[in-house]
Amino acid sequence: MVIGLIAALVAVVAVGLRPAGQGVALQAGQSAVANLLNAARLNALATGRETRVLLCVETASAADDFLRRLAWQEKTDQRWITQGEIRLPDGVAMLPRNPEAFTGLLTPGVAWTREDGAALRSTAFRAGADVRAAVNSPGAVDWAAVTFSSAGTTMGSGDLVLGATVIRPPSDRGAGEAPVRFVHPDQVRGLSVSGYGLATLVNSREGF
């Protein structure tokens, strides 16, 4: 019953992600990610099994997938089973842990920093935690991961940052470069995830 309610919640969120104004789209994406995290954590607590939330970081993927496609999985018999997935609204993507590693991802000439001067990035994705997996498709791609223990905890606190993006046309990028570009560090929302796995909404750059 618990898993059925979780699946229904994620499905409702996914259906609601339609094209919208920039601010509305960011808010919708923020809510979708919060519900996805809560679903994964609730599943871990209910089943006593590890769960994880994945973000597609494969630059060869379509612009609809890169930094926009998220999935959550449950670990069963040493295998990760996909329980649900969503895509963020058009014009919204999630910053990776190391944005500078993706050529062309950030608008140049702008300081992509938090209020305290530190780099603006999704620190909830742990260094070295990336995985390569096939999620509801035959081909394996690269994913960043946030993992919840059977007790619903994470490896530590961190942020998940969503921002407004534009699609980069093929003529504007070379092979292996990011297919989207984040517009401006002031156009962000997201979440702060505690070591207990609890997510708090962050509604502006100043909140990170």
Q: How far is the CA of 10 from the CAs of 36, 138, 142, 183, 189, in angstroms?
A: 6, 23, 22, 28, 20
Is residue 180 a contact partner of residue 167, using CB atoms and an 8 Å limit? yes
User: Is pTM beyond 0.95 here?
Assistant: no
Residue 103 has pLDDT above 80, yes or no: yes
| Local structure of residue 165 (DSSP, 8 states) | E
Calpha distance 123→96 (Å, rounded): 8
Instruction: Give the E-state strand segments of 57-140 in sequence order.
Output: 69-76, 79-87, 92-94, 131-133
Rounded CA-CA distance 182/184 in Å is 6
Per-residue pLDDT band for 44 (boundaries 50, 70, 90) equals very high
Quick one: pLDDT at residue 8?
Answer: 44
Alpha-carbon torsion angle 110, 93, 95, 146, nearest 10: 170
* CB contact at 8 A, 162 and 26: yes
Q: How many domains does the chain have?
A: 1
Residue 38 has pLDDT above 80, yes or no: yes
3-state helix, strand, coil in the chain (%, to 5): 25, 30, 45
Residue 21 vs residue 182, higher pLDDT: 182
For 68-94, what is the mean pLDDT?
96
Structure confidence at residue 138 as a pLDDT band (50, 70, 90): confident
- Mean pLDDT in residue range 192-207: 96
Is pLDDT above 60 for 42? yes
> What's the mean pLDDT in 92-97?
98
pLDDT at 119: 94
Closest alpha carbon to 160 in 120, 115, 104: 120
Token pair 């708090």 is found at 200
pLDDT value, residue 172: 86
CATH of the domain at 121: 3.55.40.10
Q: Quick one: average pLDDT of 103-128?
A: 93
Mean pLDDT of the chain: 90
- For residue 83, the model assigns a pLDDT of 95
Q: Provide the pLDDT for residue 19.
A: 43
Domain residue limits at 181: 2-207
Say yes or no to pLDDT of 175 above 90.
no
